[in-house]
Structure 1
């Protein structure tokens, strides 16, 4: 039996009326906000979080790193993708993505097939 994680968000809107009769609104949310990163200027992805590779779990059999996703599944990225400079891990069950912070030279050595 598989459990389902449910995330709820609370949004609050505040309206203020100033002396001249115009109003302004502000909205705040308690849900985690996706971060839009533009560090290299080449991508406009909505990144949920940035995670150090040391905080991820490596599966040597599947050759992937994974990290728990709030939806209950997990973010995954193949070590081959990391070696090619890819740094975005995706969750196969939802639309969230994380940026993996790592140095290529710190990745496990490539296995040679005999």
Structure 2
């Protein structure tokens, strides 16, 4: 039993990432396993895995962080485990726009195109 436990621990230690964040850092939040979060219209492989970046407000306990979430994600709890966060590397070329979605009572929304790229007549 002891050898099996030590074998499993060594395998887990190889794969474990030592993540530490500071207050004020920006992180992406994993949304693939969240209930109540709309997947932004994409299904399957093209659905986003992480959204953000969001600012870390405070550290809660040893492995949890409180994140500043926008009002359209108010239904989601704002404390996340360290494994659900990914560090955001600041890049000045990033232009991030976070549009608010108009949701109905059943949490559905209407997709609106932002631009027509091409038009054909046949």
Do they fold alike, i.e. is TM over 0.5? no
- Normalised to the residue count of structure 1, the TM-score between the two structures is 0.26
Structure richer in helix, relative to its length: 2
Structure richer in strand, relative to its length: 1
Q: Which structure would you say has the larger RCO, counting Cα contacts within 8 Å and 6 or more residues apart?
A: 2
- Normalised to the residue count of structure 2, the TM-score between the two structures is 0.25
